[in-house]
């Protein structure tokens, strides 16, 4: 009995509590002002939809030495991509690594279209990611951590709980322990990525989840990991798991 109590105390003390997801689970849009929530829901006026439209066009555009379009293999995205974004990041056995949506799109670009990979934050990659993610809008995230994902998941959880930067803060200090509180006129969110890629007014364009994570690193005056780095990918995986059950809002609109 004493051992059980000590174990529980230990677990609580080291911050790696058994319940990692905040309760109740709240989507990022719930922490945005009403005008921005309305804009996100407006399928026409949502500025990110400009990139979704571009993605729709790119989907059927032949590319690379193979002169293949996404549609040539995947057919209509409305059918084949429905639900796909709810399962990412995932482990791809063919490439032997963990992939987010951007990574998967680039596997297709390089190996199927025989074209160069698309750069992070380039309009084509943003457009395709937004187009694919949009097909799962409203569907709940369902990322299952199996053996192949375990190491990346643990790395992500460690990073989430690790203090960093001049401000010496971990992600959890804001998004697990203080969500709902005010920072100037911003309300601290729970830190889910289910709204990404999102149009952020700060950026005056759409951006990936990795860009948003880099912005957080900058916010606590920490060195930002490079796009596509293992740290950012691990965090993406951990965040997706943490948001399991939340509906995908992509493409979101954020301040």
Partner 1 sequence: MANARLSVQDKATRGEVVPVRLAILHAMETGFRRDIDGRAITRNVIRFVACRYAGREVWRADLSSGISANPYFEFFFRADMSGELELTWEDDSMEKGLIRARIEVAG
Partner 2 sequence: MSPSRANRRRALGVMAGSALAAWGVKISRAAAAEADTATALIAELIGSSPLREGREGREGGIRLTIPALADTGQSVPVTIDVDSPMTANDFVKNIYLIAPRNPRPLVASVFLSPLSGRASFTTRMRLAGEQQVVAIAIRSDGTHCIARAQVVVAVSACLDGT
Give yes or no for residue 218 binding partner 2 (CB under 8 A). Answer: yes
Cross-strand bridge partners of residue 200: 205, 254
Least Å distance between CB 55 and partner 1? 10
Of 254, 219, 218, nearest to 31 (Cα)? 254
Stretch 31-50: interaction string toward partner 2, x if CB under 8 A: --x-xx--------------
49 binds, among partner 1, partner 2, none (CB under 5 to 8 A by kind): partner 1
Cross-strand bridge partners of residue 90: 99
Return the sign of the alpha-carbon dihedral for residues 32, 170, 202, 46. Answer: negative
Least Å distance between CB 50 and partner 2? 13
Q: Which residues in the 195-254 window bind partner 1 by CB under 8 A?
A: 199, 204-205
Give yes or no for residue 77 binding partner 1 (CB under 8 A). Answer: no
Query: Does residue 216 have an active-site annotation?
Result: yes
Give yes or no for residue 203 binding partner 2 (CB under 8 A). Answer: yes
Q: Name residues whose C-beta falls within 8 Å of residue 197's C-beta, 6 or more positions apart in sequence.
A: 48, 51, 126, 129, 130, 133, 206, 207, 208, 209, 250, 251, 252
Gap between the Cα atoms of 192 and 30, Å rounded? 11
Q: Which residues bind partner 1 (CB under 8 A)?
A: 44-45, 47, 49-51, 53-54, 57-58, 199, 204-205
Residues serving a catalytic function are 216
């Amino acid at each position: 009995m004493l051992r059980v109590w000590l174990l529980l105390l230990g677990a609580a003390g080291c911050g790696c509590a058994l319940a990692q997801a905040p309760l109740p689970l709240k989507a990022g849009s719930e922490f945005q002002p009403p005008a921005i929530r309305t804009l996100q829901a407006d399928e026409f006026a949502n500025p990110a939809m400009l990139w979704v439209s571009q993605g729709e066009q790119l989907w059927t555009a032949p590319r690379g030495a193979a002169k293949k379009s996404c549609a040539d293999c995947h057919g209509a995205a409305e059918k084949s991509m429905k639900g796909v974004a709810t399962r990412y990041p995932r482990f791809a056995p063919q490439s032997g690594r963990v992939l987010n949506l951007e990574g998967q799109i680039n596997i297709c670009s390089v190996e199927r279209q025989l074209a160069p990979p698309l750069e992070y934050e380039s309009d084509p990659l943003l457009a395709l990611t937004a187009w694919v993610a949009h097909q799962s809008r409203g569907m709940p995230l369902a990322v299952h951590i199996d053996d192949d994902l375990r190491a990346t998941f643990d790395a992500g959880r460690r990073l989430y709980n690790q203090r960093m930067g001049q401000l010496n803060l971990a992600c959890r200090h804001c998004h697990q322990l203080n969500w709902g509180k005010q920072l100037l006129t911003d309300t601290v969110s729970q830190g889910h990525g289910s709204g990404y890629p999102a149009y952020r007014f700060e950026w005056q364009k759409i951006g990936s989840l990795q860009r948003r994570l880099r912005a957080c690193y900058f916010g606590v005056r920490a060195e930002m990991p490079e796009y596509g780095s293992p740290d950012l990918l691990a965090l993406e995986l951990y965040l997706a798991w943490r948001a399991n059950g939340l509906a995908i809002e992509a493409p979101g609109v954020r301040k």
